[in-house]
Structure 1
Amino acid sequence: MILDNRGLEPPQPMMRTLTTLEKLNKGETLTIINDRRPMFLYEHLDDLGCTYTTTPNPDGSFQIDITK
């Protein structure tokens, strides 16, 4: 599942991401695309036991692959 958060102002990208993660089953992956690196999201993901990788895109956005 891909969630494009570009163009949204904080905290909307984080809230959308966390709400979508709640709907996923353990082991499923969510890919998000953000305008900026989601520094505050990482702590929440750690608390939830999720794993994630962050990849910068050529356009300056970031792709974060999150596995629940």
Structure 2
Amino acid sequence: MILDNRGLEPPQPMMRTLKALESLQQGRVLTIINDRRPMFLYEQLDEMGYTHRTEQNADGSYRIDITKLSR
């Protein structure tokens, strides 16, 4: 699943991302695309047991792949 958060002002990207994660099944990946690096989101993801990988795109946006681990 891909969630494009570009063009949204904080905290909208984080709120949309957390909402989308509610329905993410274990082992699945949610890819988000943000204008900015989501610094506050990383702490939330770590606390909730998700792994994440961030890459900066050529246009300056960020692609974050979030994986829900099995517990």
Partner of residue 56, structure 2: 56
* Larger helix proportion of the pair: 1
* 1:67 Cα offset (Å): 0.1
Deviation at 1:61, TM superposition (A): 0.2
Query: After TM superposition, which residue ranges in structure 1, 4 or more long, deviate above 3 angstroms?
Result: none
Superposed CA deviations along residues 28-61 of structure 1, whole A, max 9, x for unmatched, are 1000000000000000000110001000000000
Consecutive unaligned residues in structure 1, runs of 5 or more: none
- Residue 26 of structure 1 deviates from its aligned partner by 1.1
Structure 2 counterpart SS, 1:18: helix
SS in 1 for 2:8: coil
Q: Deviations over 1:3-47 (max 9, x none)?
A: 000000000000000000011111110000000000000000001
- TM-score, length-normalised on structure 2? 0.94
Could you tell me the percent identity over the aligned residues? 74
Could you say what secondary structure the match of 1:10 adopts?
coil
Structure 2 unaligned runs (5+)? Answer: none
How much is the aligned-residue C-alpha RMSD, in angstroms? 0.4
